[in-house]
Amino acid sequence: MLHRQVLFTCFLLIFSLHALAQFAVRDSASLTTGNTLIDEDSLQAPGNNNVKRGPQKFRISNEAADISNNDQGSDIFTDIFTLNDCLKYALKHQPALNQSFIDERVAHLNNGITLSSWLPQVNGAATFTNYIQGTPVISPSTGQVTQNNAYYTSIPSISATQTIFNTDVLLAVRAAKLNTLAAQQNITNVKITLVSQVSKAFYDMLLSVEQIYAFAEDSARLEKNKSDAYHQYVSGIVDKVDYMQAVIALNNTLSQLKTSRETVQAKFAVLKQYMGYRPDKKFAIQFDTTEMMQNIYVDTLVTLQFEKRIEYQQLQTQKRIQKETTAYYNLGFLPSVSAFYDYNYEFENNHFSDLYGTAYPYSLWGLQLNIPLFTGLRRIENIHKSKLLQERIDWDEVNLEMAIYSDYKQSMSNYKSNIYFLQTQSENVRLAREVYNIVRLQYREGIKAYLDVIIAENDLKTAEVSYLNALFQVLESKIDLEKSMGDIPVAY
C-alpha cells in the first residue's frame, strides 16, 4: 500500500512539473503577433495540428500545414501581398474600376462629338440631269417662254455651313464639364466601394486564419489532455469516462479546425474576385498584427459633413446638369443663326459626249435665321417637366442626407460597441487562461473533476474566438465608419 502511494505521488509530481513548464510557454497573447505570411493553400494539410505562433516572420507551407521561418524559401511565392498591396493591385486590375475609366473616356468623346457642331461643316455633292423635253425658260426682255435646249447638265458643288448661335450647342458647351465631372465622380465611387470590399475580405480571411491558430492550439491542449487521461485511466487513477470526454472534446475541436481550414480557400476566392486577380494564379498574404492593433482607433469626435460623401457630390452634379437642361428649354424661343457658302461648277450641253467640255461656275454665301414661332407647346411642356425633375432631385437630396446620417450613426454605434467588446474580451482571455491553468493543475492533483477541465477549456476557447471576432469586427466597423464619414482613403 505504501509503495502504491509513493508511486502515485511521484506520478502527480512529474505531471505537475511538466504542466507548469507547458503553461509557462503557453501564457502568450491570443492573437498572432509579428509579420506573418500565408499562402492560398496554407493550413490545409490534416496531419499536423501543433501550430505555433510567435513574434517573428513566418511562412506557412502547403506540404506541412506548419509554420517555418520565412527567411528560407520565401521565393516560392510569385506574389506576396500586404493589405496595401492588395488595394494597389485591385485599383489597377479590378474589372469594374477599369470599366469606369472607360466610361470617363467615353464621356470625353461624347463631349467632343457634341461640341463638333461649333466647327464648320463642309460637304461635297454632285448631280447629273438628263432633260428629255428641255425646261421652260422665260426671257426677261420679251417675256416669251422658250425651252432650254441643254438636255444634259452636271453640277459638282461644295457647301459649307458655320453655326453662329444655337441653343443645342450652347447646352453642350455648358454641360460638357459637368458630364466629365460626373464620370470622374463615378470612378471615385467605384474606388471607395472597392477599397471597402477588399479591406473587409482581407480582414475576414485573417479572422479565419486566426481561428485556425486558436483551434490548432486548442487541439494541442486537448491532445495532451487526452494523453494524460488515457495514462491515468490505464494506471487506474480515473475511470474511462474522463478519457472518453477528452476524446469527444478533441474531436469537436478538430472538426472546427477542419471547417476553418476549408473556409480559408473560399475567402481567398472572394478576395481574388474583389482584387481582380486571376482565379488560376495563387498568391500569399503578409500581415503585421501589431500594426493592425495600432490602427484600430479613429477620431469619433469629428463632425459629419455631407459634402464629403461621394454620393452627395454625385447628386449635386446631377442637380447642376438638370438646371442646365431647364435653362436650355427656357432659351428655346431664341432663333438659331448660321452662315453658309456654296460653290457650284455647272456643266451644260445638248450632247452627252461634250457635256464636260465647258463649265459655268458660280458661288454664293448668306446667312440663315430660324425662328421657332410655334412648336405645339412642346417647349412649355419640356420646361415644366424639367422643373419637376429638378424638384425631385431636391427631394433626393433630403432623402440622401437622412440616409447618410443614419448610416453614420449606425457605423459609429457599431464601432464604439465593438471597441468596448474588444477590450472586455481581451480581459476575458487573460482570466480564462488563468482559470484553465489553475483548474488543469487542480485536476492533475486530484482536486477537481475532469468536467471542470472541460468547462475551463471551453471557456478559454470561447474567449479566444470571441476576442478574434471582436478584433476583426472593430477593423471592419472602422472601414464602415470611415466610409460613412467620407474619409476612406482611395490613393494607394
Residues 130 and 278 both lie in one domain: no
* Rounded average pLDDT over 216-232: 80
Contacts of 240 (CB under 8 A, 6+ apart): 233
Quick check: is 375 in a domain?
no
Residue 321 has pLDDT above 70, yes or no: yes
* Rounded average pLDDT over 13-24: 40
Q: If you average pLDDT over every residue of the chain, what do you get?
A: 81
Residue 214 has pLDDT above 50, yes or no: yes
Q: Write out the three cell numbers for 24.
A: 509557462
412-433 pLDDT tens trace: 999 999 999 999 998 999 999 9
Quick check: is 461 in a domain?
yes
* Distance (Å) of CA 416 to CA 48, 409, 419, 421, 427: 39, 11, 5, 9, 17
Hey, is 427 helix, strand or coil?
A: helix
CA–CA distance, 412 with 407 (Å, rounded to integer): 8
Residue 145's pLDDT band, with cuts at 50, 70 and 90, is low
pLDDT of res. 147: 65
Residues 265 and 132 both lie in one domain: no
* Distance (Å) of CA 492 to CA 91, 148, 344: 8, 80, 62
* Rounded average pLDDT over 184-192: 96
Residues 183 and 41 both lie in one domain: yes
CA–CA distance, 30 with 426 (Å, rounded to integer): 8
Residues 272 and 366 both lie in one domain: no
CA–CA distance, 208 with 206 (Å, rounded to integer): 5
Quick check: is 110 in a domain?
no
Domain total of the chain: 2
Find, among 186, 179, 196, 407, the residue nearest to 306 by Cα. Answer: 407
The CATH number of the domain where 347 resides is what? Answer: 2.20.200
* Rounded average pLDDT over 454-477: 86
CA–CA distance, 314 with 403 (Å, rounded to integer): 15
Assess contact for 60 and 45: CB atoms under 8 A. no
Residues 276 and 249 both lie in one domain: yes
pLDDT of res. 244: 84
CA–CA distance, 27 with 432 (Å, rounded to integer): 11
**What is the distance, to the nearest Å, from the Cα of residue 117 to the centroid of all Cα atoms in its chain?**
39
pLDDT of res. 302: 87
Residue 189 has pLDDT above 50, yes or no: yes
CA–CA distance, 103 with 180 (Å, rounded to integer): 10
Residues 241 and 265 both lie in one domain: yes
The percent of residues in the chain predicted with pLDDT above 90, rounded, is 41
Q: Write out the three cell numbers for 137.
A: 425658260
pLDDT of res. 454: 79
Residues 292 and 350 both lie in one domain: no
Residue 4's pLDDT band, with cuts at 50, 70 and 90, is very low
Quick check: is 116 in a domain?
no
Residue 69 has pLDDT above 80, yes or no: no
What pTM was computed for the model? 0.76
Q: Which domain holds residue 345?
A: 121-164+336-370
Quick check: is 462 in a domain?
yes
Assess contact for 15 and 444: CB atoms under 8 A. yes
Residue 455's pLDDT band, with cuts at 50, 70 and 90, is confident
For 60-83, the DSSP string reads E-TTTSSEEETTSSGGG-S-EE-H
pLDDT of res. 135: 65
Residues 157 and 183 both lie in one domain: no
Contacts of 21 (CB under 8 A, 6+ apart): none
Quick check: is 426 in a domain?
yes
Quick check: is 127 in a domain?
yes
Residue 437 has pLDDT above 60, yes or no: yes
CA–CA distance, 229 with 300 (Å, rounded to integer): 51
Please list the residues that pair with 123 across neighbouring strands: 159
Q: Write out the three cell numbers for 363.
A: 458661288
Per residue in 229-245, is it b (16+ CB within 10 Å) or e — as a string?
bbebbeeebbeeebbeb
CA–CA distance, 214 with 419 (Å, rounded to integer): 21
Quick check: is 112 in a domain?
no
CA–CA distance, 313 with 307 (Å, rounded to integer): 6
Residues 74 and 157 both lie in one domain: no
Residue 93 has pLDDT above 90, yes or no: yes
258-261, long-range: CB within 8 Å, 24+ apart, which pairs?
Answer: 258/46, 260/43, 260/208, 260/211, 260/212, 260/215, 261/43, 261/44, 261/65, 261/212
* First-to-final CA distance of the chain: 75
Residues 64 and 10 both lie in one domain: yes
pLDDT of res. 304: 92
Residues 345 and 217 both lie in one domain: no
Residue 258's pLDDT band, with cuts at 50, 70 and 90, is confident
Q: How crowded is the C-beta side of 139, counted as CA atoms within 13 Å?
A: 7
Residues 94 and 204 both lie in one domain: yes
* Least reliable range by pLDDT among 44-48, 176-180, 330-334: 44-48
- Degrees to nearest 5, angle at CA 278 with 273 and 280: 120
pLDDT of res. 201: 93
CA–CA distance, 303 with 291 (Å, rounded to integer): 27
The CATH number of the domain where 265 resides is what? Answer: 1.20.1600.10
Residue 149's pLDDT band, with cuts at 50, 70 and 90, is low
CA–CA distance, 215 with 427 (Å, rounded to integer): 20
